[in-house]
Amino acid sequence: MGISEKMSRLGTETAFDVLARANALAADGMDIINLGIGQPDFPTPDNIVEAGIKALKDGHHGYTAANGIPELREAVATDIEKYRGVTIDPNNIIVVPGGKVTMAFAIEMFGEDGAEIMYPNPGFPIYESMIRYSGATPVPIRLLEENGFSFDAEQVLSQITDRTRLIILNTPANPTGGVVAAAELSKLAEGLERFPDVYILSDEIYSRMTYDGEGHVSMLEFDALRERLIILDGWSKTYAMTGWRMGWGLWPNALIPHAQRLCVNYHSCVNAAAQYAGIEALQGDQNSVDKMMSAFDARRLLIHDRLNALPGVSCVLPKGAFYAFPNITGVGLTSRELQNGLLQSEGVATIAGTSFGAEGEGYIRFSYANSTENIERAMDRFEQYLATNGVSA
Ligand code: PLP
């Protein structure tokens, strides 16, 4: 007897493998610049850390309600009102250990043999991994560079079949930094009214990370979808809290009991002290978020300029998140070869576009959540790598 067949269908997130290899090379004495892993390089703001410490000292050491402490769910509802302009019931919020968990629960709820789930490709690798694991067929929504890595609403609607159970959307997006325009989202929302049995998971984990004054447009703004819409967001990116494992999902009424039962089966509840820190994050001073975003903005412009100056490389200007996703087809290497070459020869960690799905071939992801100095050094090394490998303008 061996492990179940479905385990062989579970994928992974290459970012963690690259991180392990980069750490191993660093342990051997190599000077590594990590533009691979997708997490802010800033520490969690002090006021949030202090709130977590206080919660521990105040004795918040036990289990909490499976869906999260009420004060936290109320704080999330207020935050949704503030940033998305929509009033929701805090009882529809389920706090989970990281954004990934809302994703896993939604896919688990709708995925089974014979079902189809649509997902962005290139996109966050766990979508495809979990869809396959669930037994459903993954149906890629192709995100093309010429559309600024947005999707075409008509194209998405034309891919819906009578087996489609769930459509996953992600804007601002990982790995492309693309943002889907409000008009396209609106067109999609309107079209989805023709398919009342199809649920939507909108991954809005980068909702606060947009640039050039372009605000985030949430799928929550489309009233007609409300009863079949799941919103995924959390603290990881906005508040530099990736290691705290704090995320939230907004679930429609019909799915709440199922999501709660999954919580009880999988993790009981989220770390109590982290939940108190989460309240402070949402209600406290937002200045640190603004500061982090202006730093990301400067780095975004820098990496975009530097990448476009390299032979064989071209990069659209990212509009959200903290990733640049240049086209590297002119370099003459596959995405994976370039990822490995940059790490082995130059000590620059990046992620091959194919780690985000087959549509990512010809691209490579740089996380610009690193200092301008390191971005400059990494770009110098990339330039040197191209020169050594005979790539010229
Ligand atoms: N969704 C997207 C699009 C992401 O890029 C990530 C993390 O990189 C997540 C969800 C998961 O976030 P968390 O670390 O909170 O689980």
Is the per-residue pLDDT at 391 higher than 90?
no
Q: Please check whether residue 279 is in contact with residue 74, taking contact to mean a CB–CB distance below 8 angstroms.
A: no
Task: Say whether domain 5-44+287-386 belongs to CATH 3.90.226.10.
Answer: no
Question: Residues with beta carbon inside 6 Å of ligand 1?
Answer: 38, 98-100, 124, 170, 174, 203, 205, 234, 236, 242, 247
pLDDT at residue 15, rounded to an integer: 80
Q: At what angle do helices 335-346 and 14-27 cross, to 10 degrees?
A: 20
The stretch 121-148 carries a mean pLDDT of: 96
The stretch 56-76 carries a mean pLDDT of: 98
Give the pLDDT band of residue 319 (cuts 50, 70, 90). very high
User: By percentage, how much of the chain surpasses pLDDT 90?
Assistant: 94
CATH class entry, domain 61-283: alpha beta
Q: How far is the CA of 315 from the centre of ligand 1 (A)?
A: 23
pLDDT at residue 392, rounded to an integer: 74
Q: Atom of ligand 1 at shortest distance to CA of 175? A: 5
Residue having the nearest C-alpha atom to atom 7 of ligand 1 = 38
User: By percentage, how much of the chain surpasses pLDDT 70?
Assistant: 99
The stretch 304-324 carries a mean pLDDT of: 97
CA dihedral 316, 318, 322, 324 (to 10 degrees): -10
- Site to probe by mutation for ligand 1, drawn from 12, 169, 174 as the one with most ligand atoms within 8 Å of Cβ, is 174
The stretch 25-45 carries a mean pLDDT of: 94
Query: 256-263, long-range: CB within 8 Å, 24+ apart, which pairs?
Result: 256/91, 256/92, 256/94, 258/105, 258/109, 259/67, 259/94, 259/105, 259/109, 260/66, 260/67, 260/94, 262/105, 262/108, 262/109, 263/66, 263/67, 263/94, 263/96
pLDDT at residue 12, rounded to an integer: 84
How much is the mean pLDDT over the chain? 96
158's tokens: 């034309």
Helix (H, G, I), strand (E, B) or coil at 239: coil
pLDDT at residue 1, rounded to an integer: 66
Q: Which residue has the tokens 């610009």?
A: 368
The stretch 171-179 carries a mean pLDDT of: 97
The domain limits of the chain are 5-44+287-386, 61-283
Q: How far is the CA of 32 from the centre of ligand 1 (A)?
A: 24
355's tokens: 């780690």
Q: Which residue has the tokens 């629960």?
A: 105
The stretch 200-214 carries a mean pLDDT of: 96
Q: Are strands 164-170 and 116-121 parallel, antiparallel or unpaired?
A: parallel
The stretch 56-68 carries a mean pLDDT of: 98
pLDDT at residue 17, rounded to an integer: 85
Give the pLDDT band of residue 14 (cuts 50, 70, 90). confident
DSSP assignment of 50-78:
HHHHHHHHTT--S---TT--HHHHHHHHH
pLDDT at residue 18, rounded to an integer: 87
pLDDT at residue 19, rounded to an integer: 87
Is the per-residue pLDDT at 97 higher than 90?
yes
Q: How far is the CA of 249 from the centre of ligand 1 (A)?
A: 13
Give the pLDDT band of residue 393 (cuts 50, 70, 90). low
Distance from C-alpha of 392 to C-alpha of 209, rounded to nearest angstrom? 35
Q: How far is the CA of 172 from the centre of ligand 1 (A)?
A: 12
pLDDT at residue 178, rounded to an integer: 97
CB atoms within 10 A of CB 291: 12
The stretch 210-239 carries a mean pLDDT of: 96
- Site to probe by mutation for ligand 1, drawn from 130, 168, 205, 245 as the one with most ligand atoms within 8 Å of Cβ, is 205
Please indicate, yes or no, whether the overall pTM of this predicted structure exceeds 0.75: yes
